[in-house]
Amino acid sequence: MDDLDLASRLGPPPDSLNTFRLETPRLVMARTEEADALSMFNLLSGPDRDAIVATLRWDGPDSYEEFAAFTLAAADAQYASGGFHWSIRDRTGELSGTEGQAIGHIGTRPLMPGRGDVGYWLGRPYWGWGLMTEALSAVRDLAFERLNLAKLEAEVFADNAAGNRLVERVGMIGEGVVRRYMFKQDRWIDANRYGMLYEEWLAAR
């Protein structure tokens, strides 16, 4: 990989819009629609809320109106202003009982030209089935194949064992620990920082 190749990997044009639809054997990742927002809100506001948001920088929505406005605006945003975001949907209905039902969310946002990070969550009933491995692998491939990134990154709470295994499973490499990464739920939390370079992705294909 010569310098010229890497020097050209500066991400998509800043004014790009998200027109991508991603499919895996069990999932579809598509721009959020109003029906998705309601399904996702129900997952985030139900009895599993605490388990889900414990792994996130965000503490979850205060109201459906707030959540829907935020997620629908993010779906229409230009890349430079917030990145690209997708609802994670049940492709066939075998997971949730309803074909196309939203069961989570995933997105990537720009950090600097050519660098982006990835964030995601999945409804608690769908944990442990390898679904986020499918979703994250698809977004990883998009980041390098179509978004022209030189590096994809993730930060995972250090005590989130499953989350750390997930990013390692899709090929990300640990780059260190951010001590006292954030104060959440009355305690300081450390985070592990991960990254994958374009040439590492190529070599692993």
Q: What is the CATH number of the domain that holds 80?
A: 3.40.630.30
What is the per-residue pLDDT across 152-184, written as a single tens digit (0 to 9) for each? 999 999 999 999 999 999 999 999 999 999 999
181 occurs within a structural domain: no
What is the per-residue pLDDT across 15-61, written as a single tens digit (0 to 9) for each? 999 999 999 999 999 999 999 999 999 999 989 999 999 999 999 99
CA dihedral of 93, 24, 37, 157, whole degrees rounded to 10:
120
Q: Rounded to an integer, what distance in angstroms lies between the CA atom of residue 89 and that of residue 95?
A: 10
Q: How confident is the model at residue 134 (pLDDT cuts 50, 70, 90)?
A: very high
156 occurs within a structural domain: no
**DSSP one-letter code for 18:** -
Residue type, 35: A
Q: How many domains does the chain have?
A: 1
203 occurs within a structural domain: no
> Which pairs with CB-CB distance under 8 Å and at least 24 residues apart come from 75-80?
75/18, 75/31, 75/32, 75/33, 76/17, 76/31, 77/18, 78/14, 78/15, 78/16, 78/17, 79/11, 79/12, 79/13, 79/14, 79/15, 79/16, 79/17, 79/18, 79/110, 80/14, 80/15, 80/110
3-state class (DSSP) for residue 103: strand
183 occurs within a structural domain: no
Does 3 score more than 80 pLDDT? no
For the record, the structure tokens of 166 come out as 């997930």
Chain-wide mean pLDDT for the chain?
95
- The β-bridge partners of 84 are 108
Give the domain range for residue 139: 3-149
Sign of the four-CA dihedral 117, 123, 127, 129: negative
Q: What percent of the chain stands above pLDDT 70?
A: 98
131 occurs within a structural domain: yes
187 occurs within a structural domain: no
The residue-averaged pLDDT of 60-81 equals: 92
12 occurs within a structural domain: yes
- The β-bridge partners of 29 are 22, 88
pTM value is 0.94
119 occurs within a structural domain: yes
For 15, other C-beta atoms within 10 Å of its C-beta total 9
